Structure 1
Amino acid sequence: MTNEGGQELWNRGVNMGHGLNRMNRSHRAKLPIVIPEGQIRPVVPFIAAKYATKINIAVRNHVPMLTHWKLYKHRLAVIETFLRILRAKFNIDTNDAVVKNGCLEMMKSAVRQQRHNLKKDFFDPFPLHLVTKTSPIKSTSNDEWIALVEMWKNPKKNGGMSKEQR
C-alpha cells in the first residue's frame, strides 16, 4: 500500500512453471497426462490446469506466430519442438494419435489466443504508421511479423491468406 491509499503492483518475478517443477519433484515423477478419446485435455482438473498453462507458456516462448493455422502443417519442426517441450514436463505419449490430436488442438487455441493478444498489445493501440516493423517477440521473424500486420490491416473472411498460401 502506498501513502495515498492506492495499491502498488507486486512484482512476482520469474516464476512460470515453478509450481509444476515442485509437483514433479514431490511425486518423484512427471505428472501423467491421459487424454480420453474425443477429449483434448485430461479429465483431472488440477492436471488439466497445469497442462493448459504449460501449453500457453510453450506457445508464447517457442512457437512463431503465423497468419493462419494451416501454415503450421508445413512446419513440422515447430510442432515437434512443441511436443518435445510437453514430453519434457509431463509423462505423455505423443505417439498416440488421440493424445497428439489433443495436444495440437490445445496448441491451436493457444496460438489463436496469443495472436489476439499480440494484436491487442502491438497493433490496435497505434496508428498504422507507428506499428513496429520488427517483431516484438523472439520466436517470430520480422517477415512473419510483417505478414501478421498486413493481415490485421486488411481483415478479410479468409483470415488474410492469399490464394497461393491455401
Structure 2
Amino acid sequence: MKKAMGSKMKIDIPVGRGRPTKPVQSAKLSNEFGIIARNFISLPNKWKELTREDRDAALIRCHERFEINLDEHYVKDSCEDILKNRSRQWRYKLKQLFESAHSEEEVRKIEVPELTPENWNRLCDMWIDPKHKKRCDINKVNRTKLKSNHFMGSKAFVAARAELGENEPEKVEPDRIEFYKHTHYKSKKGWSSLEAETHYNNMKDLKDLYTSGEASMTTDEIVDTVLGTKSGYIRGLGYGPKPNTTRATQRKTAELEDSLRKAKQEAASAQNNLQNRLNAAETVVENQQTQIQDQQSQIEALNSQLNTIVARQEEMFRKMQCFARSSPSNRDGAP
C-alpha cells in the first residue's frame, strides 16, 4: 500500500486506541489484514489455534505494505487484534457458505479457492459438531436481545471519535457519554432504539448527580455502570480500545523488563569497553615502563663503558708522562 510518490503509507496506532485514529489509515490497515486473513494464512477454528508462524507471516506482510513500528508491543498486539477480527469475519462468511449446502456430503465437496481442503474440512468438522451448534444457537438468541444498534455502519469508532475531536475548536474528543449519543442518534432519524435513548438519559442523569454532589464518578465509571462491562472490550467505543486487564499489565511489565534488560546490556557493554580501554592503557604503561627500564639499563651500561674508556685514557696518559720523564734526552739535557 503505497502513496503516489512511491513511499509506504505511515500507520500510527496511539496507545489506548487499538487501531489508527485517522480514517484512511484505519480503513487501509483493516482491509490489508482482511486480504491477509483470506489469502495468506490458514483460518483456525479459534484464534488461539493460529500458529505463531502464521501470525508472524501476517505481520511481516503488513510491514512490507506500511510504514509501521511493529517493535512496539502495543502496536504489534493491536495489529494482531485487527487480524483476529478480520479472521472472524472471514470465518462467518464461510459459515454462511457451509449453511447453504443441503447435506454433509455436499458440504464436503465445496471448494474454497482461498483454503486448502484440510482447512475447509477442519472448519466443517467444527460446524457439524452438536456442541458447537448448541453454542451457536445460544449466541443467536443473545444477539436478538441487542436493542441498541448504532448508526456507524462499518466505520471504525476510534477513527470517528478522533475525527469529531479534530472538528472541535479545542481539538478535544467527545467523552464516552456524548460519543454514545453520536453513534446512536441522528437528527433526521432520532435514536436507533428506545433502549439507546434510555441508556443515554441514564448516563446524563448520573453525570449531573455526581458532578453536583459530594460523591463523584468519572465518565468512564458512569458509562460502565449503565452499559455494563465486558472482558477485553470497552462498551461504546467499538473494536480497538481495551480496558486495563491482566494481559495489558503483563504486557507493560514485559516492556519494562525489556527496557531493564537493554539497560543492563548497555551497562555491561559500556563496562566491558571501559575495562578493555583500561587494560590497554595498563599495557601501554607497562610497555613504557619496560622501555624506560631498558633505556636506563642501556644508559648505565654506556656510562660504565665510558668510565672504563676514561680510566684507560687516564692510565695511558700517566704512562706516557712517566715514559717521557724517564727518556735519556730529558735526563742529560740538550747536547
TM bin (shorter chain): 0.7 to 0.9
Task: Decide which of 92, 95, 99 is 1:124's aligned counterpart.
Answer: 99
Q: Distance in 1 between matches of 2:59 and 2:42?
A: 15
1:37 and 2:12 aligned: no
Higher helix share: 2
Please state if 1:48 is matched with 2:26.
yes
Amino acid at match of 1:45: P
Aligned length: 132
Partner of 2:152: none
In structure 1, what is the equivalent of residue 309 of structure 2?
A: none
- CA deviation digits over 1:102-127, x for unaligned, max 9? 10000000010000111112x11112
Quote the residue 1:66 is aligned against.
44
Segments of 5+ residues of structure 1 without an aligned counterpart are 1-19, 159-166
Moved over 3 A (4+): none
RMSD: 1.9
Give the Cα separation in 1 of the matches to 2:112 and 2:38. 12
Q: Please report the TM-score for the alignment, with normalisation by the length of structure 2.
A: 0.37
Deviation for aligned residue 1:132: 2.6
Distance 1:134 1:76, change over 3 A: farther
Secondary structure of the structure 2 residue equivalent to 1:126: coil
Query: Unpaired segments of 5 or more residues in structure 2?
Result: 137-335
CA contact (8 A) 1:69 1:108 kept: yes
Give the whole-Å Cα distance in 2 for the aligned partners of 1:119 and 1:113: 10
Q: Identity over aligned residues, as a percent?
A: 27
Cα distance in 1 for residues equivalent to 2:20 and 2:121: 36
Specify the SS of the correspondent of 1:137. coil
SS in 2 for 1:49: helix
Q: Which residue of 2 aligns with 1:5?
A: none
In the alignment, the residues of structure 1 paired with residue 111 and residue 48 of structure 2 have an alpha-carbon distance, to the nearest angstrom, of 21
The match for 1:106 among 75, 82, 87 is 82
- Aligned equivalent of 2:58: 82
Tell me the alpha carbon deviations over residues 139-161 of structure 1, each in whole angstroms, 9 at most, x when there is no partner.
Answer: x3323321210111122549xxx
CA distance in 1, matches of 2:36, 2:16: 23
Structure 1 residue 95 displacement after superposition? 1.5
Greater RCO (Cα-Cα under 8 Å, separation 6 or more): 1
Q: What is the alpha-carbon distance in structure 1 between the residues aligned to residue 113 and residue 95 of structure 2? A: 12
Structure-1-length-normalised TM-score: 0.72
